[in-house]
């Protein structure tokens, strides 16, 4: 008699006992944890140790708080460069270049005119994105920093690995994603959640869509040398990464 | 603190305590100690290796972060199992939201394909039927019938009364007996879903 079973006719009980036997047999056939999963868990735990005990573990990654100003700079720079091209005022901001070099002096590539762009608020940048379109890639001041795109592209599983190759900035951020686009802490928490799942660092992020759903599509450079492209939903960072889909980069 | 060579003999609750006071190796040892069983629970509860891997990682990180909230009301292993089951439930819910997305083709099978072909076929049929059950019944059966946990401990893992565990197991077994009837009596009309449970599992895995 199986534990927890009320009295039953013998035939029915035999069938239930047979089910329990089937389940035990299936349990015995459970494959062991794959070695690659063991490695993955070890890496994730190490990343978590780094996150929680930054003072006692050598850290090479930046915190999201420090990273954020560069992310804003990357986006605003890209948009402003586009603005400069589309309205023919590039000479104007070249004239401001010397001042901007001072502002961005701490950044290794600050001398690059595309990096040392005039100050532009997020609102300015997004209103441009909403109204206009053009070409040009966001720039960053450090190769290790994430590049932020606002392509508005609707990615499929097949096209996800193309994240970061789009040269189009043609839409405002979908309303569902404004929590992430407007709040540095929220985006930082989202990156942290993604990097917890896929130990490494977010290298590219694109405010876009995945199979029709508003999505932040990111490319993660993993600590084991691999890469992942991950589409996450608008709840990213609230409770986990809100992962929609992931594939190898 | 015990020397490293004795770590295998350190009780679970002591490892958790050491983790909380900053011993960087303690949690890893604790998780390594139980991970195979936790993996089995996740794999059998979710029915898909990739989902199980994700859930296990989520659970591990949750446990790492939440260790300070462990009150000692249950065994550490019970607490770890509860976190894993909750992570599995979270994943089922997420998959349910995305039920319209088809499963990737060629995914790995959570049943060993080695050994007697008839046993392999039976195991695959049982696995498919198990995955067709609602999550609560499936989790109860995995813990009681597959992992061999007592009903009382399963109740603590699932955070439900023992009577609820028993009723979930009973309903689950009855449903499996229907689904697997053709395995016992090949001449009878099989009582099987109209579509493959595997094809529908992400969408119909109830909570």
Cut 0.80: pTM above it: no
Closest to A30 (Cα-Cα) out of B145, B156, B175, B76: B145
- The partner residues of A230 in beta bridges, in order of sequence, read A218, A246
Closest to A232 (Cα-Cα) out of A193, A181, A186: A193
| Interchain contact A53–B (C-beta under 8 A) | yes
Residue-wise pLDDT tens for chain B (207 aa)? 444 457 788 999 999 999 999 898 999 999 999 999 999 999 999 999 999 999 999 999 999 988 988 888 899 999 999 999 999 998 888 776 655 444 444 444 555 656 677 788 889 999 999 999 999 999 999 999 999 999 999 999 999 999 999 999 999 999 999 998 856 664 554 444 333 343 333 333 344
d(CA B6, CA B192): 52
In a domain, B2, yes or no: no
Residue A26's pLDDT is 93
**Structural tokens at position A111:** 């001398």
CB of B54 closer than 8 Å to CB of B62: no
Number of domains in chain B: 1
Residue in chain B closest to A158 (alpha carbons) equals B104
Mean pLDDT of chain A: 66
- What's the CATH code of the domain at B145? 1.10.1740.10
Task: Give this complex's ipTM.
Answer: 0.79
Residue A198 vs residues A230, B57, B103: alpha-carbon distances, Å? 9, 10, 21
Q: Which residues of A touch B119 (CB under 8 A)?
A: 25, 29
Residue with tokens 């062991």: A32
In a domain, B3, yes or no: no
d(CA B143, CA B84): 12
| Interchain contact A48–B (C-beta under 8 A) | yes
Report CB contact under 8 Å: A25, B126.
yes
Q: What are phi and psi of B32, to 5 degrees?
A: -60, -35
CB of A247 closer than 8 Å to CB of A160: yes
Task: Using the CB atoms, write b or e for B55-87: b if 16+ within 10 Å.
Answer: bbbbbbbbbbeebeebeeeeebbbbbbbbbbbb
Q: Which domain covers residue B85, as residue numbers?
A: 8-204
| Interchain contact A171–B (C-beta under 8 A) | no
Confidence category of residue A81, pLDDT binned at 50, 70, 90: very low
- The partner residues of A227 in beta bridges, in order of sequence, read A221
Report CB contact under 8 Å: B43, A30.
yes
In a domain, B158, yes or no: yes
Domain residue ranges in chain A: 61-248
> Higher pLDDT residue, A43 or A11?
A43
The single-letter DSSP state of residue A135 is B
Query: Measured between CB atoms, which of A4, A25, A29 is closest to B166?
Result: A4
**Structural tokens at position A78:** 């890209």
In a domain, B1, yes or no: no
CB pairs under 8 A between A and B: 130
pLDDT digits (tens, 9 = 90+) for A185-231: 889 889 988 988 888 889 999 999 888 889 999 999 877 778 899 99
Residue in chain A closest to B114 (alpha carbons) equals A29
In a domain, B159, yes or no: yes
- B151-158 and B76-97 helices, crossing angle to 10°: 60
């Amino acid at each position: 008699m199986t534990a927890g079973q009320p009295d039953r006719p013998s035939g029915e009980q035999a069938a239930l006992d047979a089910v329990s036997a089937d389940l035990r047999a299936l349990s015995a056939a459970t494959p062991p944890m794959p070695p690659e999963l063991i490695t993955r868990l070890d890496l994730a735990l190490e990343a978590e140790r780094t996150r929680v005990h930054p003072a006692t573990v050598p850290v090479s990654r930046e915190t999201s708080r420090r990273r954020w100003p560069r992310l804003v700079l990357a986006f605003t720079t890209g948009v402003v460069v586009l603005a400069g091209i589309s309205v023919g005022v590039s000479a104007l901001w070249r004239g401001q270049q010397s001042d901007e070099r001072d502002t961005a002096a701490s950044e290794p590539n600050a001398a690059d005119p595309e990096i040392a762009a005039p100050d532009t608020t997020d609102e300015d940048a997004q209103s441009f994105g909403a109204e206009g379109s053009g070409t040009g890639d966001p720039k960053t001041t450090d190769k290790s920093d994430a590049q932020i795109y606002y392509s508005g592209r609707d990615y499929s599983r097949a096209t996800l690995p193309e994240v970061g190759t789009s040269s189009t900035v043609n839409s405002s951020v979908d309303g569902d994603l404004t929590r992430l686009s407007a709040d540095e802490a929220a985006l930082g928490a989202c990156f942290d959640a993604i990097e917890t799942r896929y130990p490494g660092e977010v290298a590219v992020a694109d405010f876009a869509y995945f199979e029709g759903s508003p999505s932040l599509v990111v490319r993660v450079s993993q600590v084991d040398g691999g890469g992942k492209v991950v589409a996450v939903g608008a709840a990213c960072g609230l409770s986990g990464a809100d992962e929609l889909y992931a594939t190898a980069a | 603190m015990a020397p490293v060579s004795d770590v295998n003999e350190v009780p679970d609750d002591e490892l958790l305590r050491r983790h909380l006071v900053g011993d960087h190796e303690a949690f890893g040892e604790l998780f390594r100690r139980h991970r195979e069983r936790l993996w089995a629970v996740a794999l059998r509860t979710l029915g898909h290796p990739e989902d199980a891997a994700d859930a296990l990682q989520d659970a591990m990180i949750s446990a790492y972060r939440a260790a300070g909230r462990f009150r000692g009301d249950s065994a550490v292993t019970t607490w770890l199992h509860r976190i894993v089951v909750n992570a599995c439930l979270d994943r089922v819910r997420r998959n349910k939201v995305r039920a319209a997305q088809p499963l990737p083709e060629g995914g790995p099978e959570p049943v060993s394909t080695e050994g007697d072909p008839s046993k392999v076929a039976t195991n695959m049929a049982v696995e498919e039927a198990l995955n067709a059950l609602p999550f609560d019944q499936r989790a109860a059966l995995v813990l009681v019938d597959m992992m061999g946990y007592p009903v009382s401990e399963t109740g603590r893992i699932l955070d439900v009364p023992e009577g609820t565990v028993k009723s979930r197991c009973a309903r689950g077994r009855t449903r499996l007996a229907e689904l697997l009837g053709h395995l016992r009596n090949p001449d009878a009309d099989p009582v099987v879903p109209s579509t493959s449970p595997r094809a529908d599992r992400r969408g119909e895995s109830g909570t």
